[in-house]
Amino acid sequence: MVAIPEHRVIVFLQENKTTDFYFPTLAAWGAAVANNGHLLSAAPNFDQPHDRNAWVHYAMGDYPALAAQIDNDTVIPFYSWLAKEFTFSDHHFGSGSNSTPGHMLAIGGQMPTLKNPPFFGPHPVWDIPSIFTVAESGHVTWAAFPDQSGYPTKFYRSLTNIPGSVNVFPPKDFVPMAKAGELPQVCYVWSPAGYDEHPPHVSDPTYATKGQDLVWQRVQAVIDGGGWDDTTFILTWDDWGGYADSVPTPAIETVPDALHPAGFQVIGGARIPLIMFGGKVAKGIDPQWHSHASIPKTIVDLLGLPPFGVPRVDHAPSLSDRVKPTLARPKPPAYGTTVVQPTPPSPTPSPVAPMPWPEPLGHTLPALVTLDGSSLPAPRDGIVRPTPPKVPKPV
């Protein structure tokens, strides 16, 4: 892949979805997703168990997770249109745990923890590389837009201290910067509470659509600022959210727990949807295996950045081949307009099986790479109990 001069990559990270749960109608486009019928007109309005304990028991087969699916064409129509008109990755996956490990894997290809640190008050800060330190070393401009509390960039020492902290902005700043054409080449963008598609603490049946609409407004701001042709967007979610999925992922890396002293799968975790779109992004299903570590790897390739220095990223399969410098793809529907879904292909394409994972399988999660050369062992803090969590609430 030859880097594209002056290109921009914007990553949107939302919350708690599996591929089967969020995009069942993509089966008609040849994606390897189940469509079990009885699609929901609103996303389930409560959180599911989805920590390391829940995922291990789900992968063991003694915990069912929530076998629900939404009607993505009506609940998240903008996302559905993007998935059908640009690149939909149907074999993308995160970690076998919950929120913080998923976010950190997508930022820097490493997970110093397998659980969520405290959301309020004192929290750990790790001196580990991220896509932002690599962009800085490659003299490429960047910005991070964490949520209203600074999550998850507050876990990175390089992003909480000057000079890195100067490039960390509140979420409200993204739209005016985009409209003014002031966005740098690498942007990671999170959503504030209530708009991140995380199941709500107080009932709100529209929470999934509200999250989509904020992403839609942000995309529209980039278009209004003249950035469509030179921007690649990557939209994905942090973790599985406790929802069932029909496609198992490769057991690439393992970590020991109380039930598995020899180790149990942690990468890959459950499948998570990923959509790649923009003025130079091809249309179609990408059937190859990718992890969240492929996100920073793709940015490295597209922008010609130096090697990441984290083997999990440097060896990750890249999505950069989906970006074609000669393409001029049409803009998506304008924010707030009625989205008309494209007609499915006929006959329905058969799903394409992915190539085998190119690296060895079943090896132990390694120690982390640090910026200061200090020792940081692989996390062992994911608690796995003898029995699975309670069966999820029915929908």
The per-residue pLDDT for range 129-163, each reduced to its tens digit, is 999 999 999 999 999 999 999 999 999 999 999 99
Considering the chain, what is the average pLDDT of its residues? 96
Asked if the model's pLDDT at residue 283 lies above 90, the reply is yes
Asked if the model's pLDDT at residue 1 lies above 80, the reply is no
Asked if the model's pLDDT at residue 40 lies above 90, the reply is yes
- Look up residue 53 and give its two tokens: 């304990």
Cβ(109)–Cβ(115) below 8 Å: no
Asked if the model's pLDDT at residue 217 lies above 90, the reply is yes
pLDDT for res 201: 85
At residue 100 the predicted structure's pLDDT band, cuts being 50, 70 and 90, is very high
| Spatial distance between the Cα atoms of 261 and 359, rounded to a whole number of angstroms | 23
Give the other-Cβ count within 10 Å of 128's Cβ.
25
pLDDT for res 395: 67
pLDDT in tens, 245-269: 999 999 999 999 999 999 999 999 9
Q: What percent of the chain has pLDDT over 90?
A: 94
pLDDT for res 393: 73
At residue 234 the predicted structure's pLDDT band, cuts being 50, 70 and 90, is very high
pLDDT in tens, 289-336: 999 999 999 999 999 999 999 999 999 999 999 999 999 999 999 999
* Least confident span in 233-237, 244-248, 356-360: 356-360
Average pLDDT over residues 206-230: 98
At residue 212 the predicted structure's pLDDT band, cuts being 50, 70 and 90, is very high
Asked if the model's pLDDT at residue 345 lies above 70, the reply is yes
CA angle 344, 346, 348 (to 5 degrees): 80
At residue 20 the predicted structure's pLDDT band, cuts being 50, 70 and 90, is very high
pLDDT for res 127: 98
Q: Please return the burial class of 345, using the count of CB atoms within 10 Å of its CB with bins 0-12, 13-18 and 19+.
A: exposed
Look at residues 112, 332, 363, 151 and name the one whose alpha carbon lies nearest to residue 233. 332
pLDDT for res 48: 94
Cβ(259)–Cβ(31) below 8 Å: no
**pTM of the predicted model, to two decimals?**
0.98
At residue 394 the predicted structure's pLDDT band, cuts being 50, 70 and 90, is low
pLDDT for res 120: 81
The residues, ordered by sequence, that sit 6+ positions from 391 with a Cβ below 8 Å of its Cβ are 63, 64
| Spatial distance between the Cα atoms of 377 and 157, rounded to a whole number of angstroms | 17
